[in-house]
Amino acid sequence: MGDQNKKYYFADLEKMSSDEHMNEDVQDIACPRLVLEYNKHMGYVDKLDMLKSIYELDRKSKKWWLRIFWYLLDISLVNAYIIFKNRNTTTKSGKCMTLKHFKLAVCLRLIGADENIPKKGRISSVQQNTFKASGNSI
């Protein structure tokens, strides 16, 4: 049993053709522009949900507002990635940045991490000499 309820919209009406499979009659019916736009772009919602679910930021919390925060942050990052991808087709290597690398780059910029993060382990002799020349001792 399909959805037979009448729906009312406050919108402009547009002509939309409807075809009947039994009689093979084509009729023009009035359809709200809102419905036409939704039908035209409904695939974008599915794509957004798919991209959001790949590297989802959702964290379980007893506080409802934290769940909403993570959801909105996730949607914002995916939307920013889509805009970035449309404006920048390729990177220096000739490949488009993946969603994972985009989210990582945004996170690193937000926390202020520099790309020249010192590596763990012993200090190299070049760094050690520079450190001693500045008047400090190890």
Write out the two tokens for 95.
């490949």
pLDDT tens track for 82-117 = 899 888 866 566 678 888 889 888 888 888 776 666
Write out the two tokens for 2.
């399909």
Among 4-8, 27-31, 48-52, where is mean pLDDT lowest?
4-8
Full-model pTM: 0.52
In the chain, where the domains are located: 10-54, 56-116
Q: What is the mean pLDDT of the chain?
A: 74
- In single-letter form, the type of residue at position 58 comes to D
